[in-house]
Structure formats: C-alpha cells, structure tokens
Amino acid sequence: MARLCEGICTAGLGEYKDMGFKAYESDDDFLVLEHEGQVIGSYNVIKVEIEALQRACHQHLNEDLFRKLNDDKQPCY
C-alpha cells in the first residue's frame, strides 16, 4: 500500500508540491494532505482521486490568500 500512496502523492500534488504541500500515508488506508504544517484533508488511499487533491490544494491557496488580504486591511476613519 505504501507504494500506491507514494505514487498518489507524487502524481496528485504535481506543481503544488513546490508550493509547500505534502501528502503522506498516516496509517494503512489514509493519506493526509498538509500545507505548511496545517492539515488540509484526509483521504482514503483507495478512493482518492488526483483531481480531488489538486482541487483541495487550489482551494486552500485561495482561502489562504483571501484570509491574508483581509487581515492586512486596516479600518478607515
């Protein structure tokens, strides 16, 4: 199962691997997706789709960017 998980991680992350995302097998049947130490999701290794991993990475980056933009805003008086 570890080889399957390793293949899914490599193919699934694609360009997101260079952006700080990592995926690893937490136990026999689950793959954990992380970004900068934050857990983004947990997936069944048998059922996970590469598109789902990439979608989760994309969505996380968008949410993170939105959060950072809103945190930088100062109230106007």
Ramachandran region of residue 37, left (φ > 0), alpha (ψ -120 to 50) or beta?
A: left
Residue 77 falls inside a structural domain: no
- Number of domains forming the structure of the chain: 1
Residue 16 falls inside a structural domain: yes
User: According to the model, what pLDDT value does residue 5 have?
Assistant: 66
Residue 60 falls inside a structural domain: yes
Residue 59 falls inside a structural domain: yes
pTM: 0.75
Q: What's the mean pLDDT in 16-44? A: 88
The domain in which residue 49 lies consists of 2-72
Task: Output DSSP code: residue 29.
Answer: S
Burial of residue 60 (CB within 10 Å: 0-12, 13-18, 19+) is buried
Q: What is the pLDDT of residues 49-67, one digit of tens each?
A: 888 999 999 999 988 777 7
